[in-house]
Amino acid sequence: MADNVYYCSNCGGIMEFNVKSQTLKCPNCDTEVKIVDDKNSIVEHNFNARIAKSISVNEKQSSTMQCNGCGAKVEVSADCTATECPYCGSKYVLAQKQEDAILPDGVLPFKIEKNDVKERFNTWVSKRWLAPGKLKNLYERDKIQGIYLPYWTFDADIVCDYSAEGGKRRKEKVRKSDGSTTEKTVVDWYHTHGRIKHFFDDVLVKGSKNIKPSLLKGVEPYDLKKDLASYSPQYLSGYSAECYSVSLEDAHKEACRTIENELQSMARNDVLKRYDEARNIRIAPDYRNETYKHVLIPIYSTTYSYRDKKYTVLINGQTGKIRGDYPKSPIKIGIIVAVIVAILIAIFAKSAKADEIEYLPTCDTGVVYDEGYVYDEYDYLEEKDDDGKEYEADEYSDTTVIFDNDEFNDNGIFNEESK
């Protein structure tokens, strides 16, 4: 990459990329220099296996800094002598040699100012219910670093034949052992096939191995169509840019996995237009007109320590979306567990109470009165009335009998004449 130190023609100060104006701006005298964005120079390179193995590199003049803690390699301004790693917080120094790397084809400039990061960080922390209360006090503005991450993008025009089994549901009557019938759903399967044509544009594959994939995935997506600019090292003034550690060949394999997962879903949806279910989908994609480019994507990164353990937070430099690691408070977790247990106990107790059967005083009749059923205390499942009619268990199980004390004689026998 080219030397990214720019001196102000007015006062001699070092100019930096200004997010608000999208220009190079001198922090001393506010002199601004427009950055040329030539969209036509954003090149889509033809891709094939031979190119992936023999890709050439361009000489760069910036300095490579390698972290002594996690091994990340980051490009920084030539006047920089030491800094902190944006991934693990360790101090690292300038490497003694220049390392080759291909120049980016495009860059997505920062759209979120560093001054806005604190508010976003505090808002994010306030929504981490399990985080310790004092976590928001750990924010350190000087530890927030703006860094451009390397990404590869891939385009491909796909013609994909597929085969599958499509299922149609129907109802079928089934005779039960007691002679009654019921319905069940059965699926009849048929072989089917089809063809999908789709253009995949800018399939993004990260070129960094130094950040947790879950964190990077958490701050996506990025809108390359809207803001991608032609590469200029001026965008990097005042920021760092990591060298890619994922090769073009490996990135292409990852892009193919992403594309083929999408093709599987598209084939399934195509089958479901004609059938109720789909299974055993097999695809045969034909990749045509494959291209790639190397771009830089903006993020803010900070690493903070809590009780001798380090945590990383990333913020999307285009949208402000934030994702990060954070400690969990044992006290808050304990309170939540206690509340859940208390709720479960209350639900269980209520359920058990609802299942209790209140036994009634014995009587000899089992006659049905307006107030409800009267039945024997111990043999209430098969009581008979005067006509010999049986009452089954479910007819009695939820019935309450209302009676007065004078409805029973001294021996506990129901007094029918009282009714």
The Cα 127–Cα 375 span in angstroms is 59
Coil, strand or helix at 76: strand
Give bridge partners of residue 315 from the DSSP assignment: 300, 322
Residue 185 has pLDDT above 80, yes or no: yes
DSSP 320-344: --EEE-----HHHHHHHHHHHHHHH
Residue 66 has pLDDT above 80, yes or no: no
pLDDT at site 13? 87
Give bridge partners of residue 189 from the DSSP assignment: 167
Q: How many CB atoms lie within 10 A of CB 26?
A: 21
Average pLDDT, the chain: 76
pLDDT band at 259 (very low <50, low <70, confident <90, very high): very high
284 CB contacts (<8 Å, ≥6 apart)? 160, 161, 162
Mean pLDDT of 8-25: 90
| Listed ranges 290-294, 302-306, 352-356, 386-390; the one with the highest mean pLDDT | 290-294
Q: How many CB atoms lie within 10 A of CB 381?
A: 15
pLDDT at site 238? 83
What is the percentage of the chain residues whose pLDDT exceeds 90?
Answer: 34
More confident: 220 or 404: 220
Residue 96 has pLDDT above 60, yes or no: no
Exposed (0-12), middle (13-18) or buried (19+): which is 306, by Cβ within 10 Å?
middle
pLDDT at site 380? 41
pLDDT at site 339? 79
Residue 369 has pLDDT above 60, yes or no: no
Report CA-CA distances (Å) from 326 to 226, 311, 332, 333: 32, 6, 14, 14
Lowest average pLDDT, out of 81-95, 173-187, 389-403, goes to: 389-403
58 CB contacts (<8 Å, ≥6 apart)? 100, 101, 102, 103
Lowest average pLDDT, out of 3-17, 39-53, 236-250, 374-388, goes to: 374-388
The Cα 414–Cα 55 span in angstroms is 101
pLDDT at site 290? 96
| Closest of 87, 66, 68 to residue 76, by C-alpha | 66
pLDDT at site 275? 97
> pTM of the predicted model, to two decimals?
0.67
Contact indicator for 127, 262 with CB cutoff of 8 Å: no
Lowest average pLDDT, out of 22-36, 58-72, 244-258, 391-405, goes to: 391-405
Mean pLDDT of 3-29: 86
Three-state SS letters, 146-197: EEEEEEEEEEEEEEEEEEEEEEEEEEEEEECCCCCEEEEEEEEEEEEEEEEE
More confident: 334 or 391: 334
Cα torsion through 359, 365, 370, 371, rounded to 10: -20
The Cα 211–Cα 150 span in angstroms is 12
